[in-house]
Structure 1
């Protein structure tokens, strides 16, 4: 069993790994910090709204906005998480069918199926979500308890499409061996 590295060795290894990555890959990794930050904000706001809801119920005060805010933060969190989950190629993949094929064909089909199915799904979210967003924007629909237009909630769907396509692209560039089934996922 190997000994754990100290932080200086880990930092040096991470720096060396980043230097080996191509410029587009480094760009994708930098841009993918935005969905992480948005998801962190959504989790924090979800926790705050649930805490306010619990406290208000405990005090016997009615606050309908907290239930609605919790729901909307959760919607954003789910849609952001969908895309984020594909970044490390650790999400469920269509691999059951290709396991019975010869290795060269397996590698080709694993990457092909992963790419087409994943990008196709996120492109569907982008297109259909954009249509939903336009309809919500044009209708002027607002939330029931919050003074907020509903298109802000609907924006989560096309954003998830973009985040997912970028995440799948990054996973194809960085984790190709994992997608091909040659490398185990962590965790």
Structure 2
């Protein structure tokens, strides 16, 4: 069984939308995320536009010719975005830290591995692949504290939780990557 993690071009990634959608469904439409399959359709629908973002990078994991995991990331623009979960991240950090720590940093958008491949190190490899060239080591992501397994995974990978769950009650927290210079400046979360 041959497994390969590789950074891929935007064209290669977009050409694999069916495989990426399948991985997304397998990873996120089951517990603990329980997303509707429409979210997978939305993800692949935005993929061509996301691939055109400044600093876009992606990695895929292929085992015996089948995609079993992927990660996507791009540089967070300034001013800080106000779509999706960005307002929750900004509320948790405050305006100054959001601008200083997240704008211009590499934002991990999605990280997904098929359930059957979890616990094999592939997610960590994908995360390392997409963050290898983060500007000055500045990488960040957000996740839900409702998924204790994801939170524990990021901590094991050396990521630092820098916010408490967001004030709107959805449990969104921000993590800074292991080489992010602001890690030591962050107050300890709950």
TM-score, structure 2 length as denominator?
Answer: 0.23
Bigger relative contact order, structure 1 or 2 (CA pairs below 8 A, ≥6 apart): 1
Between Structure 1 and Structure 2, the one with more helix by share is 1
**Greater C-alpha radius of gyration:** 1
Between Structure 1 and Structure 2, the one with more strand by share is 2
TM-score, structure 1 length as denominator?
Answer: 0.24
